[in-house]
Amino acid sequence: MSPTATEERHYIGGSVLVTITGRTASVAGTTKTRYLHKDHLGSITAITDEGGAEVEAFSFDPWGKRRAPTLASLIAKIGSPWTSMSTYQKGNLTLVASALSSTLTNKGFTGHEQLDGVELIHMGGRVYDAEIGRFLSADPFVQDITNLQGLNRYSYVENNPLSYTDPSGFFLKKLFNKVGDALGDALSSIGRAVKKALVKVLRGNLIDTIKIVARYYVCSSIEDSSACAQIVDGVVDVIASSANGGTRDKHDSTSSTGNIQARHESSPWWSRGEPETRRAAIFCRFKTIRWVGQSTTRPGLKVQPRRLWMWDML
């Protein structure tokens, strides 16, 4: 954009819908309005003007590689040399990518930044190569240990690009829905094996990674993201502290097998006043899971006969 130009953007749900460009007050000129049209994955497929006429059109293959919306549009951009090119030349990725790139926005596949000069996509946390359908660096976190597709830390959205997106470059979008649903319902419908797996995840050295995910999920739509991040970090620290021998209230209970010590949390462990904090609290509900039954196989494990607080296992 020219130094004398201004640009105004209008957002819906965190995504740009309209851009308005014009000249500064000291420079004469006209104002142009452009509307961005997207598909179900958030990829920009067309840009139109004030009158609804198409200014630019785009298309991507399932893995995010640029392709011409139509052959005619490609020929129109490249010009007459196209008809005399060999098959090999027509397959030149640099030529095609440069011809198909936008002059109005650097956003493209799933709304991420297109690095057309090197034919890569910058997804925030990591850089993605649509030609091979892989990230250039490994994900620091295995998202779903129950899914074999999630064990390849270079793969893109568990090899299902038509259904899922990766907003941050670290976690596919469906993961946030999983976290909200599962923890919001206190994991009541999840089997014991999955609960144990989640405990192991929290028990490991993943507190920093959990904070990154929590900040993105909770704070992405909050204006004061710095304050929100502090709230989220504090909530995660509460989990870590309780999981590693932090202060807890205790009581004794009697059962048919004798006097068995059981632990419980009697004090509230997040503020109930702020909506941001309540949203962050979904990451805290690890502490409130109860398992029916008792353990007789682990020496030293203290349980109440009919229930075991999950954080006693951490």
Tens-digit pLDDT profile for residues 16-62 = 667 666 654 444 567 788 888 889 888 999 889 888 898 888 889 99
Tens-digit pLDDT profile for residues 144-178 = 777 888 889 899 988 999 988 888 887 665 544 54
Q: Could you tell me if 85 and 200 lie in one domain?
A: no
Q: Could you tell me if 119 and 210 lie in one domain?
A: no
Q: How many domains does the chain have?
A: 2
Question: In this predicted structure, what is the pLDDT of residue 114?
Answer: 92
Q: What is the mean pLDDT of residues 243-270?
A: 35
Query: In the numeric block, which tokens belong to residue 2?
Result: 């020219």
Question: Which of 102, 124, 159 is the last residue before a domain boundary?
Answer: 159
3 state DSSP class of 109: helix
CA pair distance 68, 80, nearest whole angstrom: 16
Q: Which domain holds residue 49?
A: 5-159
Question: In this predicted structure, what is the pLDDT of residue 251?
Answer: 33
Q: Which of 276, 263, 277, 257 is nearest to 312 (CA)?
A: 263
Q: What is the mean pLDDT of residues 201-212?
A: 62
Q: Could you tell me if 54 and 140 lie in one domain?
A: yes
Q: Could you tell me if 290 and 225 lie in one domain?
A: yes
Q: Could you tell me if 22 and 98 lie in one domain?
A: yes
Question: Which of 100, 130, 159 is the last residue before a domain boundary?
Answer: 159
3 state DSSP class of 263: strand
Domain contains 168: no
Q: Could you tell me if 145 and 191 lie in one domain?
A: no
Question: In this predicted structure, what is the pLDDT of residue 307?
Answer: 32
Q: Could you tell me if 241 and 101 lie in one domain?
A: no
Q: Is 64 exposed, middle or buried (0-12, 13-18, 19+ CB in 10 A)?
A: buried
CA pair distance 159, 166, nearest whole angstrom: 11
Q: Could you tell me if 21 and 154 lie in one domain?
A: yes
Question: In this predicted structure, what is the pLDDT of residue 275?
Answer: 41
Domain contains 167: no
Query: In the numeric block, which tokens belong to residue 202?
Result: 């929290």
Q: Quote the mean pLDDT of the chain.
A: 64
Q: Could you tell me if 149 and 9 lie in one domain?
A: yes
Q: Could you tell me if 27 and 151 lie in one domain?
A: yes
3 φ, ψ (degrees, to nearest 5):
-60, -25
Q: Could you tell me if 10 and 150 lie in one domain?
A: yes
Q: Could you tell me if 152 and 74 lie in one domain?
A: yes
Q: Which of 237, 209, 63 is nearest to 143 (CA)?
A: 209
Domain contains 164: no
- Which of the pair, 222 or 13, is modelled with greater confidence? 13
